[in-house]
């Protein structure tokens, strides 16, 4: 199957996977709480526990993709998400509801960006940078497509019916795409390099672990900010007096902002090192250009480790980097709910701004380290 077909299939399934997991509580939390009288912190906390499971399994997912390829793992993710959605739909109590999110968490760990990036890295080696960027163009549409879809389904079918629809989409749509569109057993030539920035990879592959730790920290902070804002964005908007439908309309603009930033990056990526993508990303978030910032962050998350450390072992590395990021994402929605309850919207936004500024500082330190190492080995490098 052609590369374009593989990326398109992964793109469609990423929209469906993100929309039926990560972005689901933003629309369903309030109807679930109103219908069941379960505490909001626990309703939103289901996603946090799911992300915790995803974090715990992510290193093993990365190793499996490194060894066997991503097709089987991605197919398993669709099954887990679908079964979890069915369990959500029939949940008679909070215990079953939480159990459903634990099952969905397995699907998230096996099927969201990190697993998809690892699959592309294994398939295409150094050339995966462009494929990863293209894939994120699709992923950026997840909230734009699925928030309005979820709102419409809730209005027509209730939150339980909405979960059943998403289960059918996963089992009847995403699963066949994974089974038939993802090549099996192919491994890229990891020594190839057709992009100038990648030529310096061998000089960094065996550098000290400090660079990897710094990268992991800044990726983790970015993930926590993205998770908290994504889950509570509609709450932030509604706190200003907007109705749910209006808040959903404004929130849906995040998707086009992500896509626009990623489209620009796709066309100019060949001219710069991805460390610049990371710097622009964290700075955009700090300046409240949230959609563009998280859009570029997804690209940096997939491409920066590839360029810094090379495609050999990339899938395993993505699994290791995913673990702290997913742990932070697991905690972020619950922390956000607690902050909103205790210090209100204004205080929560101030705290988020402080974390965003800290991440700009860390990304700048990362840039200085990368620049120093690259200029030491390759004077005139574009970093």
Task: Please state, rounded to an integer, the average pLDDT across all residues of the chain.
Answer: 85
pTM > 0.85? no
**What 8-state DSSP symbol labels residue 182?**
S
Cα 252 to Cα 134, 230, 248, 366, distances in angstroms: 20, 11, 6, 32
The pLDDT, as a whole number, for residue 194 is 42
* pLDDT on residue 205: 47
Q: What is the CATH number of domain 3-377?
A: 1.20.1250.20
Instruction: Tell me the residue length of the chain.
Output: 383
pLDDT at 244: 74
Pick the closest to residue 23 from 230, 330, 298, 256 (CA basis): 230
pLDDT at position 193? 41
The predicted-structure confidence for 329-363, as pLDDT tens digits, reads as follows 888 877 887 888 888 888 888 899 999 999 999 99
Decide if 329 contacts 50 (C-beta within 8 A).
no
Residues 6+ apart with CB under 8 A from 45: 98, 333, 334, 337
pLDDT at 376: 58
Nearest to 351 by CA among 269, 262, 232, 197: 232
Which regions of the chain are under pLDDT 70? 1, 185-208, 240, 373-383
Alpha carbon separation from 143 to 22, 42, 242, 249 (Å, rounded): 9, 22, 18, 11
pLDDT at 168: 96
Ordered DSSP codes for 318-354: HHHHHHHHHHHHHHHHHHHHHHHHHHHHHHHHHHHHH
The confidence score (pLDDT) of residue 94 equals 95
């Amino acid at each position: 199957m052609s590369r374009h077909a593989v990326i398109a299939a992964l793109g469609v399934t990423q929209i469906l996977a993100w929309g039926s997991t990560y972005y689901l509580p933003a629309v369903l939390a309030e109807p679930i709480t109103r219908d069941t009288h379960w505490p909001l912190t626990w309703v939103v906390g289901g996603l946090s526990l799911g992300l915790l499971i995803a974090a715990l399994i992510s290193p093993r997912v990365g190793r499996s993709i490194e060894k066997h390829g991503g097709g089987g793992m991605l197919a398993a993710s669709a099954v887990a998400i679908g079964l979890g959605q069915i369990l959500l739909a029939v949940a008679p109590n909070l215990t079953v509801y939480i159990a459903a999110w634990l099952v969905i968490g397995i699907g998230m760990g096996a099927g969201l960006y990190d697993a998809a990036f690892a699959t592309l890295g294994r398939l295409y080696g150094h050339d995966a940078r462009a494929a990863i960027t293209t894939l994120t163009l699709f992923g950026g549409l997840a909230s734009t497509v699925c928030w309005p879809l979820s709102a419409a389904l809730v209005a027509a079918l209730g939150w339980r019916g909405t979960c059943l629809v998403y289960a059918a989409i996963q089992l009847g749509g995403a699963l066949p795409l994974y089974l038939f569109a993802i090549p099996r057993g192919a491994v890229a030539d990891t020594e190839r390099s057709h992009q100038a920035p990648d030529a310096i990879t061998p000089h960094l592959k065996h550098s000290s672990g400090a660079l990897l730790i710094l990268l992991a920290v800044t990726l983790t902070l970015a993930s926590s900010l993205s998770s908290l804002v994504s889950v509570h964005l509609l709450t932030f908007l509604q706190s200003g007096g907007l109705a749910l439908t209006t808040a959903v309309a404004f929130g849906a603009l995040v998707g086009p902002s992500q896509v626009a930033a990623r489209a620009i990056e796709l066309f100019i990526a060949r001219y710069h090192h991805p460390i610049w993508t990371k710097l622009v990303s964290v700075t955009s978030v700090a300046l409240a250009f949230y959609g563009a910032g998280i859009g570029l962050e997804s690209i940096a998350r997939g491409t920066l480790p590839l360029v810094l450390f090379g495609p050999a072992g990339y899938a395993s590395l993505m699994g290791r980097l995913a673990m702290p990021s997913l742990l932070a994402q697991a905690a972020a929605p619950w922390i956000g709910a607690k902050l909103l309850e205790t210090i209100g919207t204004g205080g929560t936004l101030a705290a988020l701004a402080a974390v965003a500024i800290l991440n700009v500082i860390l990304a700048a330190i990362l840039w200085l380290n990368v620049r120093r190492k690259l200029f030491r080995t390759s004077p005139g490098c574009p970093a």
